[in-house]
């Protein structure tokens, strides 16, 4: 193993060992078991060959991406904290995002039949006495690194930072459907 690879591996291993489950959840918004579950689901889409040293393991890619999603820290800071260059963090965020999108249909479903819609409508009425509701929606801006190119300005939100708008739709049992706009 190369010296840089050893440092990265040791950095991640020490970081994982020195943080209890609560600290881990605070940093990644998931438990270690949940992170492993996400890794198992996305690993086929994250493994790739490389002509340079060693590819970043899928588990580490998921850690890098979830740390980025869970914080408002720039990719450079996440990379410095976890022993990776910000370009590696950027690739991990992109690849994990794409891998999650590839499996999203296994977890996110819209009601397809009138019977399903009626059940949700009745559920909302039972919970909050709202008639005719088949979903609740909310959104937030997720901070991103400024994209390069001619349309960089299109990603600046009203608060003056680069972001993408993420919207979520829930049914009466809080099952979530996500759409990135």
pLDDT tens, residue by residue, 92-149: 999 999 999 999 888 777 788 999 899 999 999 999 998 999 888 888 888 888 888 8
pLDDT score recorded for residue 91: 93
Whole-angstrom CA distances from 93 to 100, 117, 176, 181 are 10, 35, 21, 18
Asked if 51 contacts 71 with a C-beta cutoff of 8 angstroms, the reply is: no
* Statement: the pTM of the whole predicted model exceeds 0.85: no
* Closest to 147 measured CA to CA, from 90, 72, 62, 100: 90
pLDDT per position as a tens digit, 10-36: 445 545 556 677 788 778 877 888 889
């Amino acid at each position: 193993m190369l010296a840089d690879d050893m440092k990265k591996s040791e950095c991640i291993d020490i970081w994982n060992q020195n943080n209890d489950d609560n600290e881990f959840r605070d940093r990644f918004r998931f438990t270690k078991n949940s992170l492993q579950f996400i890794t198992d689901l996305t690993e086929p889409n994250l493994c790739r060959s490389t002509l340079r040293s060693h590819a970043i393991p899928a588990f580490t890619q998921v850690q890098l991406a979830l740390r980025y999603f869970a914080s408002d820290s720039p990719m450079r800071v996440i990379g410095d904290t976890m022993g990776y260059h910000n370009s590696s963090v950027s690739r991990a965020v992109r690849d994990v995002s794409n891998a999650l999108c590839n499996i999203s249909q296994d977890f996110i479903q819209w009601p397809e039949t009138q019977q399903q819609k009626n059940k949700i409508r009745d559920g909302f009425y039972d919970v909050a006495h709202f008639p005719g509701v088949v979903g609740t929606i909310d959104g937030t801006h997720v901070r991103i690194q400024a994209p390069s190119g001619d349309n960089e300005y299109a990603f600046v939100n009203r608060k003056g930072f680069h972001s993408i708008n993420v919207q979520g739709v829930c049914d009466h049992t809080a099952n979530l459907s996500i759409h990135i706009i």
